[in-house]
Amino acid sequence: MPLKALQKALDYTFNDPELLKIALTHRSADTLHNERLEFLGDALLGAVIAEALYLQFPSGDEGQLTRLRSSLVKRETLAALARELDLGSYIKLGEGEMKSGGWRRASILENTLEAIIGAVYLDSDYDQCRRFVQKVFADYLENVSLEAIQKDPKSRLQEYLQARKLPVPVYEVLSTKGKSHQRIFTVSCSCHELSSSVQAQGSSRRKAEQAAAQQVLDLLQKGTK
């Protein structure tokens, strides 16, 4: 598709359109792909968002700011922004990825948006890149708050147990099923206070562990009522 419409959606016109073409090229499609730009864009994104949060929340401590940043730069957020920009329509994929619907995959959308951030930086300078990122993330930055952010279930479970001088939970991967891009992890979480372990599933080991930790927390808190 013509890139003029995308540049209009990005509200940025490239001096070197080749940078944008590379940013939109998945490794399955060409030897000149976007992984190096993705690496650069990931670092720039983290720095810009960290600075924005530092200035926006002068009373926020390191832990709160870290969790806020994680909520903004996580895969789900980046993929959602990429979909809003309709990046999937512009990504250049190899035949296999195209057939499997790679333009819809969150990981590919996330990586492409990061690559575009890297491309904007190389096409201009850091100040312009900062303005670009702040514009793309404007709605998310406007709606984040220290009150809304909460520690993840694994952290909360560990703190709950440590506060009561109890052993930390033990996580174990029981099984991994599915193809590489559609994996389902089954994880158990054992806790000294429960007579048996709980099991949970997720599309990554981390998500499965977080789901299991939440179940354990719910059971422990229910038992204290």
Residue 148's SS3 state is coil
d(Cα 159, Cα 192) in Å, to the nearest integer?
Answer: 14
Please check whether residue 166 is in contact with residue 149, taking contact to mean a CB–CB distance below 8 angstroms: no
CB neighbour burial string for 100-125, b if at least 16 within 10 angstroms, e if fewer: eebbebbebbbbbbbbbbbbbbbbbe
Please identify which of the residues 38, 42, 110, 123 carries the catalytic annotation: 42
209 a catalytic residue: no
- Report which of 162, 209, 214, 170 is spatially closest to residue 191, judged by C-alpha positions: 170
What tokens were used for 105?
A: 């995959």
Burial status of residue 143 (CB atoms within 10 A of its CB: 0-12, 13-18, 19 or more): exposed
Q: Closest Cα partner for 212 from 191, 192, 187?
A: 187
* Tally of residues, the chain: 225
Neighbours of 16 (CB within 10 A): 12
User: 147 catalytic, yes or no?
Assistant: no
- The first and second tokens of residue 116, run together, are 């575009």
- Among 38, 97, 110, 114, which one carries the catalytic annotation? 114
Catalytic residues: 42, 114
